[in-house]
Amino acid sequence: MVKKELLIISKKKNKNTGSIEFQIRKFTKKIRALVPHFKLHKKDYSSQRGLRKILEKRQRLLSYLEKKNVLSYQRLINKLDIRESKGQ
């Protein structure tokens, strides 16, 4: 019975959580939630380290998406209002 309820709930969400675009959106949301925290707590170095890890992961996903699908990359950057990578 519990499994059936979980299946129904997971079908209702209908999100592709494994897609690169979804992961980038999720990381961007986390980053934007952490920024006000650092304005209050300037010396929270352990959280700063976590933020840097999230930023690096998002950057890797963005560079992968840019290589695989440039059009999707451009749309996502414009939608999320984030800067384009400088290219390495």
Residue 29, amino acid: K
Question: Per the domain annotation, does 30 fall within a domain?
Answer: yes
Question: Per the domain annotation, does 10 fall within a domain?
Answer: no
* pLDDT exceeds 60 at position 49: yes
Question: Per the domain annotation, does 12 fall within a domain?
Answer: no
Show the domain range for 38. 20-80
- The CATH number for 47's domain is 1.10.287.10
> Which residues are CB-neighbours of 62 under 8 A, at least 6 positions away?
24, 73, 77, 85
Question: Per the domain annotation, does 11 fall within a domain?
Answer: no
Residue 16 has a pLDDT of: 84
Q: Do 63 and 85 meet the contact criterion of CB atoms below 8 Å apart? A: yes
Which pTM does this prediction carry? 0.77
Q: What are phi and psi of 27, to 5 degrees?
A: -65, -40
Question: Per the domain annotation, does 6 fall within a domain?
Answer: no
Q: How many domains does the chain have?
A: 1
pLDDT category of residue 68 using cuts at 50, 70 and 90: very high
The pair of structure tokens assigned to 67 is: 């290589």
Mean pLDDT (whole number) for 21-31: 96
Q: What are phi and psi of 35, to 5 degrees?
A: -60, -45
Helix axes 20-40, 70-80, angle to 10 degrees: 30
